[in-house]
Amino acid sequence: MSEISKDAGPEELGAFYAYLEDGELVMEPYCSCGNLLDEYYICDKCKRLCRCTDILCEDQATLNLVEKYIRTSPRLRNFNATLGKRKSPPK
């Protein structure tokens, strides 16, 4: 397992990518390398265990909904949400 620095952001630690699909919130965990993570947050490509506490939101409507959930859910209180796009996996 690699050491995680306090200053590391979503690009280094992996992040959830959030978007709305048919009015429902969808959050997919991605590794910092751009690969979709498995259910244990381990990357199949780089074998890294990712700590996904950042949520990159596709648009403002998604960000507003995610921020509401962060404010109202004790399970999400340590998460941070920002506007952003998911990183494309390398070819």
Q: Which residue has the higher pLDDT, 1 or 6?
A: 6
Residue 26 has what pLDDT? 96
* Alpha-carbon span 35 to 46, nearest angstrom: 9
Instruction: Express as a percent the part of the chain with pLDDT over 70.
Output: 80
Please give the DSSP secondary-structure letter assigned to residue 76.
G
Residue 13 has what pLDDT? 72
Q: Which residue has the higher pLDDT, 81 or 6?
A: 81
Q: What Å distances lie between residue 72 and 55, 67, 68, CA to CA?
A: 16, 9, 6
Domain ranges of the chain: 12-83
Each residue of 46-84: pLDDT tens digit? Answer: 888 888 899 999 999 999 999 999 999 999 989 999 998
